Structures are given as C-alpha cells and as structure tokens.
Structure 1
Amino acid sequence: MHGMSFHGGVAETILFDGWHINDVSGMISSAIGIILLTALYEGLKSYREYLFARTEFFKKNQRKSRNVLLFSRVHFFQTLLHVIQVVLGYFIMFIFMTFNYWLCIAVGVGTAVGYWLFAWEKTNNNNTDCCS
C-alpha cells in the first residue's frame, strides 16, 4: 500500500486485483491501455455533445410533447452513454488516485490525445448562438 503522495516504480495494482503489474513491460502496456481508455472517454464526451446538439436541432424543428422526447430512443441512448461516461470517468479518477506518476502521466496524455482527436471541431466552430 502506497501513501498519499506521488511515487514512481512499476509495482502497482490498478483498479482490480487482477490488474497487478510488477515490471516495466506491464507498466508500459498498462500506460498504453490507460491512454486509450482516457482517449475513449474524451471521444465519448464529444460524441454525446454532438448527439445533444442534433437532438436540440430536432426539438426546435419538431413540435412534440415533452413525454415523447422523454421516452424517445435517442434519450435512452443518451442516458446509456451518460452512464458509461460516468463509470469511465470514475475509473480514470481511481487510476489517477494510485498517485503513480507514470499512470498519472498516461491519464494526462490520454486526455490530450482524446481531445486532439475528437474535439478538433470545437476550434473551428463558428457558432455564435451564445452571444446573439
């Protein structure tokens, strides 16, 4: 058991007893997996924002009752994606809370890679709805 301070090393248990690493190759493969997991989290976040924007467009162009939208397939799908996003977010938080700086760096790199891959449209967005 490690203290509540940042540390290095390659002996770590990550999330589950079955995900225990003891050597450099285990740390490298785990870091790559964490980078992919965190990038997936960022991609899921961007996809949910995209779906939300499309749903808002749909709601503006259709006059449907609140109950129809509440029980729509899109809303159920959004709910499922939200649950997956929250669980992945907690997994990533728990990985960071190992305080192993190699794993923390992997989380940071994964966040950067995920944002770079999936949120690049935000920088090209000419949407001025917020300010008009």
Structure 2
Amino acid sequence: MMMPTAFYFGYQNVELLFPGVVMNSPTDMVLAVLAIFILAVCSEGLKQARENLPLRAASGQRWQLLSWPHLVQTLLHVLQLLLSYVLMLTVMTYNAYFALAVLVGVSVGYLLFRWKKTMHVDPDLEDPCH
C-alpha cells in the first residue's frame, strides 16, 4: 500500500497504525474517528492528572525515589508519552479525518480539563508590558 504524501479525505482502504487495522466503510471510519477523539481528550486529562498529583501527594508525604506517589507519577508519564506518540503517528497517516479528530479532541480536552488553570499576575502591575 502506497503512503500518501499530503492530507486527504478518504475512508476506503485507510490503514490506521497497524497493517491489519484497515477502514473500508464509512461506519469503520466514524468509529475510528470517535476512538481517536476520545484518546485525544484522555491525553489532555492525563496531562492534567499528572500536574495535580504532586500537589495532592505533597501535603502529607515526603517524596522519595521509590515512593508510591513518584511511581504513580512515573507510570502516568509513560502513559502520557505513549498516548502522545500514538496520536502523533495517527496524524502522520495523512488522513484528514484522523488529523481533525486529534485536533478537535485535544481542544475539547483542554477546554474540559484545563479551564481551572489561571494565570497569576502581580496585581500591582496593571500592564506588565509597560
């Protein structure tokens, strides 16, 4: 099978990451796009969970190399990295439906999970540029 060199909108004979995973119908494509969208949303949720873990664990426990909070943080880091690579490789298939699913998924994930993260600016500085 020849790899495309530009983005295309297609649903016939579309390979997704592995040679045996091939989309041949609109239903297959819709299910694949939905799964990719959910993975992209989960990627942003996982990123937020990793950032919040040290704040919760630091309150009553001292961090050590082999402490449970650090091991959990390491596992979450590996999962986030794996998921990021899968999403990157999905975009690299050059299927526009897959690329849009990743883009919309990380956008919705950011909207859902990162809305509490605010920017702290010194109140004495009304305009930090001047």
TM-score bin (small chain): 0.7 to 0.9
Q: 2:8 matched to 1:3?
A: no
Normalising to structure 1: TM-score of the pair? 0.81
Q: 2:106 matched to 1:105?
A: no
Counterpart of 1:48 in structure 2 is 50
Superposition deviation, residue 120 in structure 1:
1.3
Distance 1:87 1:127 in 2: 34
Q: Which residue identity does 1:79 align to in structure 2?
A: T
Q: 2:29 matched to 1:27?
A: yes
Distance 2:32 2:121 in 1: 39
Counterpart of 1:70 in structure 2 is 65
Superposition deviation, residue 37 in structure 1:
0.5
Distance 1:21 1:77 in 2: 36
Superposition deviation, residue 117 in structure 1:
1.3
Instruction: Give the alignment's Cα RMSD to 1 decimal.
Output: 2.0
Alpha-carbon deviations, 1:17-74, whole Å to 9, x = none? 232101111111110000000001110000001113334x43xx77x5xxx5211100
- SS of residue matched to 1:27: helix
Report the CA distance shift for 1:127/1:76 in structure 2 as closer, same or farther (over 3 A).
farther
Superposition deviation, residue 119 in structure 1:
1.0
Alignment size in residue pairs? 120
**Gapped regions of structure 2 (runs ≥ 5):** 123-130
Report the CA distance shift for 1:127/1:20 in structure 2 as closer, same or farther (over 3 A).
farther
**Gapped regions of structure 1 (runs ≥ 5):** none
Alpha-carbon deviations, 1:75-101, whole Å to 9, x = none? 001001100110110000000000111
Q: Which residue identity does 1:76 align to in structure 2?
A: L
Report the CA distance shift for 1:84/1:127 in structure 2 as closer, same or farther (over 3 A).
farther
